[in-house]
Amino acid sequence: MLVSREILFDAERNHWSRLRVLASRSLSIRRAADAALFLLLCAWPWIGLFGREPWKADEGYTFGVIWSMAQGKGWLVPLLASEPFMEKPPLFYWVAAVCTQWFGGTLAPHEAARIAVALFLYLTLGFLAATANALFGARRALIAVVLFVGSLGLFDKVHMLIADVSLISGLSIGLFGLAAGERRPIAGGVALGIGAGVAFMSKGAIGLGILAVTAAVLLYFPTWRTQRRRKSFAVAAVVAAPAVLAWPIAVYLASPQLFNAWFWVNNLGRFFGFARLGESHGLWFYPLTLCWLSFPLWPFAIAACRAAWLGKERHDALLLPLIAFLVTMGILMFAWQSRAIYALPALLPLSLLATAGLSHAARWFVEGLQRCSMWLFPVAAGLLWLAWLAVGLDLPWAVNKVTERAPGFALPIEPSVVAIALAGSALWWLAARRRRITPENSVCVWAAGLTTFWLVLLTLWLPYLDYGNSYVTTAASMQPALPRDASCVASKNLGESQRAMFDYYAGLITRRVETDPGARACRWLLVQHLAGKPHPLPSETKWSEVWHGARPGDDRESFHLYRATAG
């Protein structure tokens, strides 16, 4: 009898010992997965920033303004190829120009400027996590960042030299100020004021309008009409006033005409449509765009709203992100000019709504998202690796495909780049393996896979993408044909990005026929032709073509340099 009890006791002890070993092993795997995901999130702002030239179209003209500031010109009135460029306030240009001056000796100037992109992205992610913490608690803070990073159409838009990057940083700071205003009115008001100032100085009235209208709408709800909220808004107004007023007043005092060009044409004119600048789409452009741009945020956001309607989620926590999202969408849909990139501000409140809806999402969607992520991104990244190996091994069919789109291109193989791509692939494997199916794990696996896909693409294939998207080879081939003396060069139909890039690479600043009456006296003329739309040359002069070129593989636009022979 005693022997049997000892045997049972030993068996029970071995059973619990095995359970402890399994639990310890499971915990170590989970910690490794979370650490790998955290490393991917930390690397996310830097992916694709280095090792390439400025790309058409937004990066080209943005860096043109930054390049002028880095050379000591245009700090008050932004300049593009020595001409005033009054499309946006200069906050993003200022920060990028400072980065160019500080780090331009170590990095190429355009790469040093992109450090500003990473800095603003870190601000956005940090304050988004702080807002989620204030609304839903510390456990949801990191998930909000994961959801934002996992937005399907976000990555390629915010890793560019564009002012929209600092705009969403300002909005992220402002949302945190609104969320923290009740508990800490002074700190919340300071954050709201700084966010409003950053948003305004990034893209003008639209960023300030989103935060101001959101705050005004929230005041209609009794829980927001408190003394502490009013104190927070008063502090925000005092903090934001210098940033909102200083630069416009300085520009107006320097030149009322340039102030009018910025305020009436590029702010109100683009928004209401009387300036007819940019492109316009239908009323439902932004809702349809967000269906793919924000995936998988919106299914979780809908689940949060449904749970609040049924009383399963706190209404007060959802009120801020819901109103901010509706206000942002209303402003965007009312605006005349429309582009997919302008929908980025809507991702911030949508990420917060999705954070609240994770625990209420449909089981079939959660399971489908996680299972799809487990095979979709490995297959996509694996195809990138296989194609890269095929080109690296000089397989004829692979090389022909590459050179067909990029004539003259040879894919370089750099060990450091390959090591980074391998490290990213390994991090995804660690971040995704052995995660049981839960709402939190589904978005973590999705975000990790999407980040790894972009990491592999923008390391192994970055030279190929850069070869056809930059103007460095075009400017290099044109430079020997340019006049050696001080002769002026006129230009016709030359875009903003092209003017900026020819100034940066070739030191060529043209006099535009469209805006400069004296340009017709120049004996040299650079013309940009679009496919099927050749532009006629000035008829009062006879011209001889001395050079023509285009970006490798680009049959949509070409450049032609002419010299006057008579007239």
Same domain flag for 340 and 216: yes
Cis previous bond, 296, omega within 30: yes
Q: How far is CA 517 from CA 81, 497, 513, in A?
A: 17, 22, 7
**Residue 29 falls inside a structural domain:** no
Same domain flag for 315 and 390: no
Same domain flag for 476 and 451: no
Same domain flag for 539 and 392: no
Choosing from 304, 339, 360, the residue where a domain stops is 360
Res. 3: pLDDT tops 60: no
Choosing from 425, 444, 469, the residue where a domain stops is 469
> Is 277 or 43 the better-scoring residue by pLDDT?
43
User: 414-427 b/e with 16+ CB inside 10 Å = b?
Assistant: eeebeebbeebbeb
Res. 16: pLDDT tops 90: no
Cis previous bond, 57, omega within 30: yes
pLDDT band per the 50, 70, 90 thresholds, residue 4:
low
pLDDT band per the 50, 70, 90 thresholds, residue 12:
low
- What pLDDT digit, counting tens, does each position of 138-157 carry? 889 999 999 999 999 999 99
Same domain flag for 149 and 251: yes
Same domain flag for 416 and 518: no
What is the overall mean pLDDT for the chain? Answer: 90
Same domain flag for 166 and 258: yes
Res. 25: pLDDT tops 90: no
- Structure-token pair, residue 119: 């800095």
Q: SS3 sequence, 91-104?
A: HHHHHHHHHHHHHC
pLDDT of residue 19: 42
**Residue 80 falls inside a structural domain:** no
**Which amino acid, 151?**
S
Res. 195: pLDDT tops 50: yes
**Residue 64 falls inside a structural domain:** no
pTM above threshold 0.85: yes
**Residue 273 falls inside a structural domain:** yes
pLDDT of residue 18: 54
pLDDT band per the 50, 70, 90 thresholds, residue 540:
confident
**Residue 309 falls inside a structural domain:** yes
Res. 29: pLDDT tops 80: no
Same domain flag for 214 and 340: yes
- What pLDDT digit, counting tens, does each position of 239-259 carry? 999 999 999 999 999 999 999
**Residue 32 falls inside a structural domain:** no
pLDDT band per the 50, 70, 90 thresholds, residue 421:
very high
Same domain flag for 355 and 432: no
**Residue 512 falls inside a structural domain:** yes
- Alpha-carbon distance of 501 to 386, in angstroms, equals 34
545 is in which domain, residue-wise? Answer: 472-566
Same domain flag for 355 and 242: yes
Same domain flag for 162 and 307: yes
pLDDT band per the 50, 70, 90 thresholds, residue 563:
very high
- What pLDDT digit, counting tens, does each position of 455-488 carry? 999 999 999 999 988 899 999 999 999 998 878 9
Total structural domains in the chain? 3
Q: Are 395 and 466 within 8 A, CB to CB?
A: no
Is beta strand 524-530 parallel, antiparallel or unpaired with respect to 489-492? parallel
Q: Are 37 and 431 within 8 A, CB to CB?
A: yes
Res. 196: pLDDT tops 70: yes
- Alpha-carbon distance of 124 to 170, in angstroms, equals 8
Same domain flag for 501 and 550: yes
Choosing from 410, 437, 469, the residue where a domain stops is 469
Res. 2: pLDDT tops 50: no
**Residue 396 falls inside a structural domain:** yes
